[in-house]
Chains A and B, each alone.
Chain A
Amino acid sequence: MDKMQRKRVGAFLLDWSAVIAIMISIIFFTAIMGLSFFSSANLTNILRAMSITTILAIALTVTLACDGFDMSACTLASCSGYVFMACYLWYGLSLPLSAVICVIFTMIAYLFTLFLILVCKIPDMLATCALMFVHQGLGQWFTGGGAISAGMALPNGAMPRRTFFEAGFVAIGQAPYIILIMFASVIFAHIFLQHTKQGTFLYAIGSNKTAAALSGIHVGRYRFLAGMITAVFIAVGAMVVCSRNTAAQLCGCDNYLMSALAAVFVGKSVGGKEKPTALGTVLGAGLIVILENGLTLCSVPYYILPAVKGGVLVAALAAVYLPGRRKL
């Protein structure tokens, strides 16, 4: 009896470890830093910093829901960023048109990823790992090896059509719009995954591909759908990053991969659901950013932060894969 109870308490703590970790870190940082951490201004800071990680993590959530995997999501986001900025600055297209072209480009690029995975049957991990380098190389070829920002010449020496940013462009990357975009993405993904037929099918595929196929679910078709949705979120993430940096920096999105993965896996451990969910992903992104923010305030050097993010990812993976965590 005692043992059973202890086991149940252990499972509970493990299931909600992400939430507990968030609360502990909030209390901890508040205790140390006081109001410079626990203030509405810093809350906005945290939400703003969360946005990009969350949007890219949502992209990964959709892929992971149907047991896919994408290591190349963030390198593709960098490429989408180049295309977006090139359209906007180099060719002087309007902001909405640039955005549409960016989304379409990302979807087309993602078709190639899906071709490798669904048609060539290369395991996701390997295919996207290889694509990561393809994206990096092709992207830099496109930009001529440099960033794309206002006032800089094209690789062929021509001058860009547009030399300054409109207010609307800059606003995308600032509060409150960046936070609203994040919440819109999360709400859309939540409704899609939890409350639609298609989302349910994605989870079915993620749970057992063969059983899903034998229930009449067209596995290839739904994985394709998941890929296209992932592509849209990648494009959104890319545009937000560009606006935030007011430039398409070289490999500007690549570093978000680890935070995004950590967010998804932290989310996967939440509530013992053992599957990636939109809300779980938000919690995961929140945990990572709160840690980053708090540690920065405590003047921990920035170059140590990747170790913290990596540590969160390791802990989340342990919580997901720890043996014998089956409930009673």
Chain B
Amino acid sequence: MTAKNISIEFPGVLALDRVNFTIHSGEIRAVVGTNGAGKSTLMKVLSGVYPSWSGEICVNGKSVELKTPAEALKLGIGIVHQEVDSAILPDFTVFENLLMDDVASDNHMIYRRKALRRQAEAILKELGIELQPGMLAKNLTLAQKQLLLIAKEVHKKCRLLILDEPTASLSMAETQKLFQFIRRLAKEEHTAVVFISHRIGEILSVCESCSVMRFGRITDEFPVTEHTRTEKIVEKMLGRVADGREDASGEHSDIRENPVMLEVSGLCDQKNSLKQVSFYVRKGEIVGLAGLVGAGKTEICKTVFGAEKKSAGVIKINGKEVILKNPTDAVRHRIALVPEERRKEGICPSESITFHLCVACLAKFCTCSILHKTAMGARARAAIKELLVSCRDEKQQIQFLSGGNQQKVIIGKWIEADCDIYILDEPMQGIDVGAKQEIFRMIKSLAKKGAAVLYVSSDISELLAITDRLYTLYNGQITAERKTAETEEQEIMYDMIGGNHG
């Protein structure tokens, strides 16, 4: 299969820029790149999700149209997405899930359960997958669900199998099992496999070749051998050593003597996605927490804020242990959280800007719980001016603001509430460059005024630009702690993808 000069444009961005991609049958190919490099977009083009691409795609030397998922299926291209749960029917059994497409397309009126089951058993046996056909899909483990979906694709006579981050939520043993299966698939069935992963160790162990993507282009392609080094791949993912770091070390030299404001030790959560996380933030310090999607960043934020229950660990504020049972407790201890999913968790869409700016400190604006609306309005107008929020007026509903302005209002909410500790979870997601600079300035001035800031992100350049100290998180564990001024982009990337953990 060959794809030539594939380009696709979304409003405002060229997501793929003349990508050339070739894969042979029986080959296991890794596609790596930082977040937003275009990996998923390319895979979606290849599986027919986006119809608006330009360029040429050939399968077995013949040029093909590929505009719908059904066409992709006909060509034998199968994809298993990262979120397996969206692709299975939880209340149906394994064999029903496996053969659902056949059932949907055949002309039998009667649902022949027994025949289906027998057929499914045969398929599973042939593929060497150990799954109980009668089990309900919702009772499967994540790895089993993944296998089920792969089996489903293979059963559909798929010649090219795309796996989008299949291992993100698997344990080591499960991953190994999956790899064995992929290897066998490539060798015996001559299926081409595209494997997307952030974990370089896995790529080294299972893939034969590797394509590196950056800014919507494939920048490098090379075979993976025993001599391929992790560092080399990391370097290629990042390209040149690019960091737009401002020299801020001089300004903050005195933070090191400041007292520790927030201290977390041995934090575990009930879903077992955090393993003994410990860190601290000093007064006036901006501490970064770097980690990839699924590393446990959001879990840390929510657990510290009391929105998720912890199973172990101690949280200390100003040296005193506190018990945070819910977000209300956290706010009482003057902790602020700017959540990752702004639209889902950050805003009350139909409420006004005034409401959002005042909601965390409404007690300030009322006597005997009767609100002083004029005082709230005046305060909101002042805050809008100070934070440079562009809006019609303070009564505008927040859903009509741009992402950047919404984020400013959300941070402003906590500034109004006079918080001491700010936890920012991916605060720059979906925010344009101009607003980004202004929000950076806001965060810096917060720290200067003596707040402790925990800045959580997967974007290394952001972290380098703003933080004083950096922790890296991999698989729910803190893998390294570094001073930002003395570190390099590569080092952080290396830790984030678990370079030290195979």
Contact present for A195 and B359 (CB under 8 Å)? no
Q: A265 on the interface (CB 8 Å rule)?
A: no
- B189 to chain A: closest CB distance in Å? 45
- 8 Å CB contacts to A: which residues of B33-88? none
- B31 to chain A: closest CB distance in Å? 34
For chain A, the bracket of interface size reads 20 to 34
Contact present for A200 and B360 (CB under 8 Å)? no
- 8 Å CB contacts to A: which residues of B75-108? none
Contact present for A212 and B369 (CB under 8 Å)? no
Selected interface stretch from B263-271, B310-318, B339-347: B339-347
Contact present for B326 and A218 (CB under 8 Å)? yes
Contact present for A215 and B350 (CB under 8 Å)? no
Contact present for A204 and B355 (CB under 8 Å)? yes
- 8 Å CB contacts to A: which residues of B379-422? 400, 413
Contact present for B305 and A212 (CB under 8 Å)? no
Q: A216 on the interface (CB 8 Å rule)?
A: yes
Q: Which residues of chain B have C-beta atoms less than 8 A from A214's C-beta?
A: 305, 307, 327, 337, 339, 345-346
Contact present for B366 and A197 (CB under 8 Å)? yes
Contact present for B351 and A197 (CB under 8 Å)? no
Contact present for B350 and A196 (CB under 8 Å)? no
A interface majority secondary structure: helix
Known: A197-B366, A200-B355, A216-B327. A211 touches B346 (CB 8 A): yes
- A197 to B347: give the CA distance in the assembly, Å: 18
Q: B373 on the interface (CB 8 Å rule)?
A: yes
Contact present for A207 and B328 (CB under 8 Å)? no
Known: A211-B345, A215-B359. A196 touches B351 (CB 8 A): no
Q: B431 on the interface (CB 8 Å rule)?
A: no
- A1 to B287: give the CA distance in the assembly, Å: 50
Q: B277 on the interface (CB 8 Å rule)?
A: no
- A194 to chain B: closest CB distance in Å? 8
Q: A217 on the interface (CB 8 Å rule)?
A: yes
Q: Which residues of chain B have C-beta atoms less than 8 A from A210's C-beta?
A: 339, 344-345
Contact present for B344 and A196 (CB under 8 Å)? no
Contact present for A217 and B307 (CB under 8 Å)? no
- B11 to chain A: closest CB distance in Å? 19
Contact present for B351 and A207 (CB under 8 Å)? yes
Q: B435 on the interface (CB 8 Å rule)?
A: no
Q: Which residues of chain A have C-beta atoms less than 8 A from B360's C-beta?
A: 215-216
Most buried by B among A191, A197, A201, A212: A197
Name the residue of chain B whose CB is nearest to the CB of A192.
Answer: B369
Select one of B332, B349, B400, B413 contacting A207, CB under 8 A.
B349
- A22 to B345: give the CA distance in the assembly, Å: 39
Q: Which residues of chain B have C-beta atoms less than 8 A from A203's C-beta?
A: 348, 351
- A326 to chain B: closest CB distance in Å? 8
Q: A143 on the interface (CB 8 Å rule)?
A: no
Contact present for A196 and B359 (CB under 8 Å)? no
Residues of B near any A CB (own CB < 8 A) = 305, 307, 326-328, 330-332, 337, 339, 344-351, 355, 359-360, 362-363, 365-366, 369-371, 373, 400, 413
Starting from the known contacts A216-B330, A217-B327, 18 additional A-B residue pairs (CB-CB under 8 Å) come to A195-B373, A196-B370, A203-B351, A207-B349, A207-B350, A208-B347, A208-B349, A210-B345, A211-B346, A213-B327, A214-B307, A214-B337, A214-B339, A215-B327, A216-B331, A217-B359, A218-B326, A218-B328
- 25 A-B Cβ contacts within 8 A? A191-B370, A197-B362, A200-B355, A200-B359, A200-B371, A201-B359, A201-B362, A203-B351, A204-B359, A207-B350, A208-B347, A208-B348, A211-B345, A211-B346, A211-B348, A213-B307, A214-B307, A214-B337, A214-B345, A215-B331, A215-B360, A216-B328, A216-B332, A218-B326, A273-B350
4 closest cross-chain pairs (CB), A and B? A216-B331, A207-B348, A208-B348, A218-B328
